Structure 1
Amino acid sequence: MSHYFIHFQPILTEDAVLKKAIIEESPQDVAELIAKMKGINLDEVSNLCLQYRNILKIDHLWECKSLTKLELNNNIIKKIEGLDCLINLTWLDLSFNNIEKIEGLESLRKLEVLNLSNNKIPVIENMDTLEKLTFFCFSNNLVGQLDNVLYLRTFKNLFTLNLLGNPVSEEDDYKLFIAAYFPNLNCLDYRYLNEKTKKEALIKYHYDLEKMKRDGLQMQQAAEAKQRQEAELQLHHDAFVEFLDGSYLFKDMFKDDPEADKLHYLPEVATLLHTFEHQMVELCVQLFEIGLAEHKRREAEVNSFFSGHSKAVPHYQLRASQILANFEQKHKERIEELQHLSEPELLKVKVTQCNDEIDLLCNNLMELDFQLVSQLEDIIKKLDTNISDMVVIFSETAQGTYPLLIYFFYCASTFAQCRDLEDDYNEKVREIAVATLEKVAKDKLEEDLPDDVRMLFTDKDTVMDALATGHDNHLLKINDRETQLVTRINTWKVTLIKGIQDTELKRSRMRISGIHRYMDYLREQLEELQ
């Protein structure tokens, strides 16, 4: 076991260690050949055995990208790390080490065999990405709860499991429990699970399995419902109309307004409030539906742009390839001719002609790139114009400044109408409040109101201040939501167009840089012949 090596000097998996291990594992004649080589290409190594080397830390494996099998057993490793680049690994042995936690395995999606036996790990966890796992050896660790073992049920391809030596393996009916909850398992603790054992396990845990199945189904349905809800909310957010498909804005207007709550005890105000809410919700829902429709239009326009883009670029690439292929064929012939020339003056003339051809190639490629840039600028400009028109129409529809003739049937002034509704509601409530103040002053109030409401109407200034404050707050909420919508949609438009322009500028610079590098290479090639 690993503790036998503690008296040795701990080492790391450095290049020298890796290469030494490769040489030692190779056949003798091959090893001798490798030893004489200047270096070993670690990227081509498929199997690596590093057992019994007193390794303390896993490191320097980023070059071993072709590795499929890695044996690090019987060392003094404390932490699973340094394996991120080993995306082709199918076999990993870390048994007989000092590991205390399962971690660092996220990138090993192809892993089929994992051996973590004889470590100090109390919990089976952090293996979600190992979907291809078929063999898991975890003997002589510290797992003490059967429920923790159920974590492995997600691995549908797991057919061999070894938990012997863990405290959990000492529990009553351990074998039947595993056989019941892992129906696809063929081998447990190095012993074959026969059909008799599996049937006995199913009978014993029938009700528990049914309950788990029901709970799992409910959890799945809840997760799917949550996912649908999140997707729907994301759609609303992308359309800039989140929380406009109901009474959210209306309720937000009256939130944290205790004086308004007192006014609502008046029967006439309660009726007004109900009508006000109905009208506000109707306006918001209309804007919400317009927003979703406009989002689809914008999305279609953006998709149309990228469709045009995807046609323009391949056409350019094809023409550039044809120009290069034609040039390279003739250039190769010219180079061969130059190689056979011995007269300096004639060679000089021919090299000048070759340089002229290179200049012509450069001009042709630059002209072709200019044409592509111009074409892309045109479709970007068209996208900018179309998206800007859509944004203006939707923003002004929401604000109430767009011509009524066009959006007459589509809530042509949502937030403006909301403000009108609030003004009308406030004016009517003010009239009711004044009448109520007069009744209270004359002691002619017939309504049975709570004491704090009745007390409110003994002071006219307090009532008027409450109404004014409430009115200002309500309009502020409407204005804030309007500003949020308009600001976000305009920011989205600017970010979209600028992002596309920046990307195309970067691509154009890369193409031009590539052209110049190729020209330099061709000219250097000619200089070597002189």
Structure 2
Amino acid sequence: MHRLYNSVEPRVMDEDMLKLAVGEQGPKEEAGQLARQEGILFKDVLSLRLDFQNILRIDSLWQFENLRKLQLDNNIIEKIEGLEHLVHLVWLDLSFNNIEAIEGLDTLVNLEDLSLFNNRISKIDSLDALVKLQVLSLGNNQIGNMMNIIYLRRFKDLRTLSLSGNPIAELEDYKMFICAHLPDLVYLDFHRIDDHMSLNAIRDESDLINIEVKILEYSEDITELFNVLMTLEMQLVEQLEETINMFERNIIDLVALFIENVQSLMAQCRDLENHHHEKLLEISINTLEKILKGELDEDLPDDLRALFVDKDTIVNAVGASHDIHLLKIDNREDELVTRTNSWCAHLVDTVSGRYPGLQGLAAARISPATGRGESGHLTPGAYALGDEKYSKIKDGRSPHRRHTRTLPHPHPCLKETSGTRRL
């Protein structure tokens, strides 16, 4: 439950409020009248009560340098501040406010009793300077983590602790955990801790310590086993990488040799086609000469005889046939090279893809300039980089392919038509 602003306007401590409080709480009857006449000095005040004042901010307390007890409960304070000069403070009540964090207590080294009951605090911290702390009330807050109890072990004089009304108090081992970790505690949530509960908690804690010792003992063996397994895994990764790279090199070399054989075979086919073209052209010219002289004894079909009209017609017909044959050879070579390269690339990528753990390692070792790894191995899909042989394979062009066709031995009758024909 949090304090809400009521109909009265929130207030900040000022001189008038403090004087009024000191006057009301000062000595009574004749002593009080005498004190009021002479004036009460703030530095002489030992106890001050400022509860139910609708105070929003703590301020103007620096003159109360000898104050021992300060009561600020049932206000709407949101932040602990303005207490740094109250170094002699022993008792501080900040219950029933809207405080969200413990702070501003670093100079209160003599504080023994601190109440932060019914606020919005979710974490116990920033109390290190309170070395004399004996009573701590943190009930009805938002503390939910057991590790906050461990923090309280540093306070050797702590005897009374209140945490009821927090989420932590709903946990199953709440009381046993506190008794085990705070063995000097006498009162918990306004109830005295009996010796039986304390002994059981300490025994359970001892069992936990024994378990932790065993865990530490086995953890060394687990760590050693882990290191051995990691070493074996690294060796396996290196061997797999070397095997895959060797496979890539071998398959690429085989593909390169196959493509070279294909290109060599296609070059022979072109040479044969060129030789066939020369012979066919020579026979055709001789036949034309015989037809023109009327010396041809054979009967030719009508469609064939129609070609033997003149020299240009014969040359064009034979040349067109030659071009078609060369194109057929080129297309077949391109098909073989392309399909072989695709098959090789797919095979290499498939083999590498079966071991995804190697891909990052391989990628880290690739040289962008050559497409090779640190060991000089070609990487998947990069077999055409950094090597003239593989560049020719990927390009798919035969080193023997002729992009122009020249008649090496032109017929004497065709000197005017000999030369170069573009494919």
Give the structure-2-normalised TM-score.
0.48
Task: Tell me which protein shows more helix as a share of its residues.
Answer: 1
**Structure number with larger C-alpha Rg:** 2
